[in-house]
Structure 1
Amino acid sequence: MASLSKSKVIKTEPLDQKDAQWATLVKTTYTDPNGIERTWESGERLTRPAGSDIDGVGILAILRDPSKPNEPLRILLQKQWRPPVDAVVIEVPAGLIDPKESAETCAIRELKEETGYLGEVMEGGFGVTPVMFNDPGFCNTNLRMIHLTVDLSNPVNQNPIPELEDNEFIETFSVPLKDLWEECKRFEKQGYAIDARVGTLAEGVECARRWNLG
């Protein structure tokens, strides 16, 4: 795979609304609690399937080998260059949902396509989060985080081969879940951008550690 750092922005220019395929800008007129009429500019996705309550999923994939119960759990992460921030971003696997597809099915499919790993949805009501909005003051994009386990003893997961599209350049790796906070700080010092989902997961793990919430 070509080095992700070779990607670069050539130019940035205004996008005519009629040419937009993935997202557009809208102006919303509303009234505030005092009845005053105001307007709000925001982005809006154009890809949400009819009847779906989400645009896509983010995936918390935990690697574990049942034959090695004492080894630390590892979280699957990715490096992917993103044009809007002109940087390589540390992310969790993610993807847009297909028409009539459940969030769970989408997550299993996207994980297999992007990483080659076959995951299973965690049981006990922890597999699917409530609907989350990424940046509600700016856009209507939303998702559910799906929590998957990847059984490394499964032969399918011992030599994972991604099925990337020709415009996808993704490097997959893992770090110990307990070290995610420190890893994020290290990545930032190295010049990587941190996806908010990764940062929030890291913050949650660190909060649990500091305040003994286990």
Structure 2
Amino acid sequence: MAEGEAKVISTDPLHENEAVWTKLVKKTYIDPKGVTRTWESAERTTRPKGSDIDGVGIVAILEKETGPEIVLQKQYRPPLDKIVIELPAGLIDEGETAEQAAIRELKEETGYVGKVIEMSPVMFNDPGFCNTNLRMVHVSVDMSLPENQDLKPELEENEFIEVFLVKLDALWEECIKLEAEGYAIDARIANLAEGIEIAKRFKL
């Protein structure tokens, strides 16, 4: 089945003994007025011991004579039953640093070999629903290097990823165009694009 043909064929409750990656929990807490309340949320079960994050997102910028371009991906995501426009990303392995995970995941998913430039604070994706978190790792990709000429991604059997490039200064317009074409836009890309537009508007 080609990536564009992927689709959800059924949705059923997930029993706790079947869950591999996540679990649902009920939190009991006291609010600022002293009232006891409960909250339903999800938690990842895969965070390595000693790590403060589940994974990394990768802002990979290609240095080109025509201007910087960002590496994006198209990947089908069953929770949305849509192809999602995403940044390269992945879970951190046991004993790995965020920087190491970013370089590894970028190479595996896109074939590009990059150099870490900087890293964000710990970011929480949807704190009202789950405890999943990550660090955004900014990576520079030198297109003059031989290893970035003949790209060889190392995708897993269940990964179907299409890599493409977008000019960094046109990211906002590209997000709008892709949404109109039926793609879902990952919040991390949308936030980055919005930040670029705000910087332009206020000449930051």
TM-score, normalised relative to structure 1: 0.94
1:186 is aligned to 177
Say if 2:84 is the partner of 1:89. Answer: yes
3-state SS in 1 of match to 2:119: coil
Say if 2:115 is the partner of 1:116. Answer: no
Say if 2:203 is the partner of 1:212. Answer: yes
In 1: Cα distance, 2:35 partner to 2:50 partner: 33
Say if 2:73 is the partner of 1:78. Answer: yes
In 1: Cα distance, 2:4 partner to 2:105 partner: 24
In 2: Cα distance, 1:129 partner to 1:108 partner: 15
Report 1:48-197 matches (<5 A).
48-65=47-64, 68=65, 71-122=66-117, 127-197=118-188
Following TM superposition, by how much is the alpha carbon of 1:3 offset from its aligned partner in structure 2, in angstroms? Answer: 3.3
3-state SS in 1 of match to 2:85: strand
Say if 2:10 is the partner of 1:11. Answer: yes
The code of the aligned residue for 1:9 comes to: V
Following TM superposition, by how much is the alpha carbon of 1:72 offset from its aligned partner in structure 2, in angstroms? Answer: 1.2
C-alpha distance after superposition, 1:28-71 (max 9, x if no partner): 00001111110000000011011100000000000014xx3xx2
In 1: Cα distance, 2:133 partner to 2:104 partner: 19
The code of the aligned residue for 1:80 comes to: Q
Q: Which structure 1 residue ranges, 4+ long, deviate > 4 Å from structure 2?
A: none
Count residues with an aligned counterpart: 204
In 1: Cα distance, 2:161 partner to 2:110 partner: 8
Report 1:15-54 matches (<5 A).
15-54=14-53
The code of the aligned residue for 1:114 comes to: E
In 1: Cα distance, 2:193 partner to 2:12 partner: 35
Percent identity, please. 63
5+ residue gaps, structure 1, are none
In 2: Cα distance, 1:207 partner to 1:3 partner: 38
In 2: Cα distance, 1:178 partner to 1:72 partner: 9
In 2: Cα distance, 1:111 partner to 1:164 partner: 11
The code of the aligned residue for 2:184 comes to: A
Following TM superposition, by how much is the alpha carbon of 1:211 offset from its aligned partner in structure 2, in angstroms? Answer: 1.1
In 2: Cα distance, 1:152 partner to 1:173 partner: 15
The code of the aligned residue for 1:148 comes to: V
C-alpha distance after superposition, 1:73-102 (max 9, x if no partner): 000000000000000000000000001100
In 1: Cα distance, 2:57 partner to 2:33 partner: 37
In 1: Cα distance, 2:100 partner to 2:108 partner: 12
What's the Cα RMSD here?
Answer: 0.8
TM-score, normalised relative to structure 2: 0.98
